[in-house]
Amino acid sequence: MTEEASGAAMKGRCLCGAVSVTLEQASEDIEVCHCNMCRRWSGGPGFWLHGLPDSGFTVEGMEHVTSYRSSEWAERAFCSKCGSNLWYALLPAGTRSLMSGLFDQSEGFTIAEQIFVDERPAWAELKSMSHEKTGADVIAEAEAAGFHFD
């Protein structure tokens, strides 16, 4: 694992560089989401640095960020200049999952889990020893933590 992936600050940016993010404490865990919305949004599974508190990173170029309310409980953000997907915000939790592709540092990162595997098409099967959850598993886990999706 590199120093960048071991908890040190890590920088990332969109394709054109108009938006950049800095993580103070980066996790090496990546969550892969196979839900229909992530696939439509990104063209394949979403690879996320998962569930970071809103205070866990800083954003430069916020004037170039456009958010889309994709459901009653979530927003997805992208760069308005180049279209790069930036993050998924889970509004009830106050967390964001950042697209892992924003960051050049990739050594040491591992897929920790895959979610919405019940929506995964055969062509998106990944060879990984990660934990897998269905959409129902994810919703039940969130509701058990006190989040309610109406």
Domain boundaries, the chain: 4-144
Q: Answer whether residue 7 shows pLDDT above 70.
A: no
- Residue pair 31/50 in contact by the 8 Å Cβ criterion: yes
Q: Answer whether residue 67 shows pLDDT above 50.
A: yes
For residue 50, the model assigns a pLDDT of 79
Taking residues 26-38, report their average pLDDT.
Answer: 88
Sign of CA dihedral 22, 106, 92, 19: positive
Q: pLDDT tier at 118 (50, 70, 90 boundaries)?
A: very high
For residue 3, the model assigns a pLDDT of 38
- Looking at every residue in the chain, the average pLDDT score rounds to 87
For residue 13, the model assigns a pLDDT of 96
Q: Answer whether residue 84 shows pLDDT above 70.
A: yes
For residue 150, the model assigns a pLDDT of 66
HEC string for 38-105: HHHHHCCCEEEEEEEEHHHEEEECHHHEEEEEEECCEEEEEECCCCCEEEEEECCCCEEEEEHHHECC
Q: 4-144 in CATH: which number?
A: 2.170.150.70
Q: Answer whether residue 34 shows pLDDT above 90.
A: yes
Task: Give this prediction's pTM.
Answer: 0.79
Q: Answer whether residue 16 shows pLDDT above 90.
A: yes
For residue 28, the model assigns a pLDDT of 77
**Percentage of residues in the chain having pLDDT higher than 70:** 93
SS3 content of the chain, % helix, strand, coil (to 5): 25, 40, 40
Taking residues 31-36, report their average pLDDT.
Answer: 94
